[in-house]
A = this chain, B = another copy of it.
Amino acid sequence: MSKSNQKVTEMDIPAYITSLGQRARGAARHIARADSGQKNDALLAIAAALVAERKKLLSANQKDMEAGKQSGLDAALMDRLELNDERINGMAEGVQQIAALADPIGEITDLAYRPSGIQVGRMRVPLGVIGIIYESRPNVTADAAALCLKSGNAAILRGGSEALYSNQAINNCIQQGLQQAGLPGDIVQVVEITDRLAVGEMIQLQEYIDVIIPRGGKGLIERISQDARVPVIKHLHGVCHVYIDKAADLDKAEAIAVNAKTQRYGTCNTMETLLIDQAVAGEILPRLAARYKDAGVEMRGCDQSRAIIKDMVTATEADWDAEYLAPVLSIKIVDDFDTAVSHIQQYSSAHTEAIVTEDYSAARRFLREVDSSSVMVNASTRFADGFEYGLGAEIGISTDKLHVRGPVGLEGLTSQKYVVFGDGQVRS
């Protein structure tokens, strides 16, 4: 692989990416027709190969880790890059779990007779060729390949350059699995050149790639969305809110507001701003402040909050926009429900918002009026996740409105065509 990589000069990149696209388009027809058994055989063989090739995976990863050390990758990136026994087992189990999911392809729904006598329904079909652009975690290679394969799509995977050897070793296991199941290897292709121009070419390749899914930081995704000609399923940032309504059960409010902030700091469904109705702020804010202090969370509050908790930092305008991904929380006391919803409409990234309330009408209004990919009543924002929602696995969380919104599982990688059954009907 390193050889072919060195051979591809800048001049060749468009031709190279186009050839990947052409091969993917050809392979897409095969995987679209593959039956569920054959797809599951391939997935289980991939999982077995990941375990059997453990040593090769670790040694390829070692090469990436050494290169990363030399190029001065920071500790967080090095951690993401690392493969170890546990992570390899996790990858294999992930692929097995995808094998165990129901096959979405071919499902016919809403089949009904029309007055003309024809019977019309919708059949779930693959999208075709999916391009996935991601950063350092090599496990995405196995996850993404497995999700695309199960949903009947061909995949072109462009991982981070720092994980090139690891991704290639994982792809070798994928190729073994495809071969064992009698499926063409081109169903999954890993881009072997690290030049950024390769990404630029992929996102222009409308003829051969049906959708691009970028997984990574906000910067990567905005850059790709800006330049792409191929449709992009975007997973932007999460500025998630919890609103403690005046009719909240304060024990639930405490549990949810603590969990939504502190259960994990670096995830997109972590609460970044807490809104508290002024009617209950005097009672609930001191309880929460004590919990946040214990957890080491820095609080940045509005003036009203600071009147209750004196040693809080003052929140600036930038705080209401911030996705901290860190033990930092902005806190605002609001006059009422409407003020809370207005604040969310202004500052939310439309990812996930929760209300804590026992009031029926407030719950209904919040569900209807808050326009985010997940809207919750009396539950922690941390639940916004494909596994927790029962999708079985996810390739990301869409903050788009078109095609798919929220956690994207197998169904998000499919489309529906109309099917019509007749007995010779003609239109009059």
Contact = CB atoms under 8 A, between A and B. Distances in A.
Nearest to A401: B415
Interface string A200-227: 0000000000110000000000000000
A380 B263 contact: no
B263 A127 contact: no
A375 B417 CA distance: 8
A230 to B, nearest CB: 10
A377 interface: yes
Contact of A401 (B210, B356, B382): B210
Size range of the chain A interface in the assembly: 35 or more
A420 B231 contact: no
A231 to B, nearest CB: 5
A156 to B, nearest CB: 17
A146 B12 CA distance: 51
Interface stretch (A136-144, A158-166, A169-177, A383-391): A383-391
B417 A114 contact: no
A422 B6 CA distance: 54
Nearest to A249: B424
A402 B415 contact: yes
B379 A118 contact: yes
A143 to B, nearest CB: 21
A309 interface: no
B231 A425 contact: no
Contact of A422 (B33, B379, B426): B379
Contacts of A260: 426
10 contacts: A29-B345, A114-B388, A260-B426, A263-B427, A367-B419, A378-B422, A378-B424, A379-B421, A380-B425, A389-B418
Instruction: Give the top 5 A-B pairs by smallest Cβ distance, nearest first.
Output: A379-B422, A252-B424, A259-B426, A382-B427, A376-B420
